[in-house]
Chains A and B, each alone.
Chain A
């Protein structure tokens, strides 16, 4: 099946710094990528949808200036958490959609800890 990777898998940063998370589709072209946030023992919360070459669509309540999303190519999307705070600590997961609209493949997730 299709493979989606994320880097880094874990990151610890200090409050006030920015962190970039990469999401790559390794063996297919992803026209659409999704970014989710997951708190412990909770479900996935969609943050934003990004389409290659256009601006991301953010869900209500998600600050677009804080969570910068770039989808510059069909195989790479990045999420940058700017001026991170401890409350941004979470598990961030991306998924990528293939050529068929109903496909969605998840990355392994990135554990962000802000100290």
Chain B
């Protein structure tokens, strides 16, 4: 199967600081990527997506960067808030429309 992994399984940041969560993917043919946020006991929530023909996409307080050369994806959260504490997953979609999820990074925001 595919392999989508995260470099850091846990991340703690001070409230107000910026957070960066990284993800490595394995299929160079993957054409679409999504970041999800999952709070305890809940289903994943869509945060932001990016297609392979882009290298950067910005949302509200979040930015996703895609580096296809090294097959790396990152999620940047500006001015991290306590409500941002959750597990963050990246997902890639392969040409067969199959999604593969990373193992997740647990983000803890310290007030």
Q: Contacts A104-B34, A104-B99 known; A111 to B44 CB distance under 8 Å?
A: no
Q: A44 near B45 (CB under 8 angstroms)?
A: no
Verify B41–A44 contact, CB threshold 8 A.
no
B103 and A43 form a contact (CB under 8 A):
yes
A106 at the interface (CB under 8 A from B): yes
Partner of B89, one of A4, A44, A91, A101: A44
Q: Mark A1-36, 1 if CB is under 8 A from B, else 0.
A: 100101000000000000000000000000000100
Interface size on A, residues (CB 8 A): 20
* Docked complex: A47-85 residues within 8 A CB-CB of B: none
Chain B interface size, as a band, is: 20 to 34
Q: In the complex, A1→B47 CA distance in Å?
A: 12
Interface flag for A93 (CB, 8 Å):
yes
Offer 27 A-B interface pairs, CB within 8 angstroms, sorted by A: A1-B46, A6-B43, A41-B104, A42-B103, A42-B104, A43-B89, A43-B101, A43-B102, A43-B103, A44-B44, A44-B101, A46-B99, A91-B41, A93-B43, A93-B44, A101-B97, A102-B32, A102-B49, A104-B99, A105-B46, A106-B36, A106-B43, A106-B44, A106-B46, A107-B43, A108-B42, A108-B43
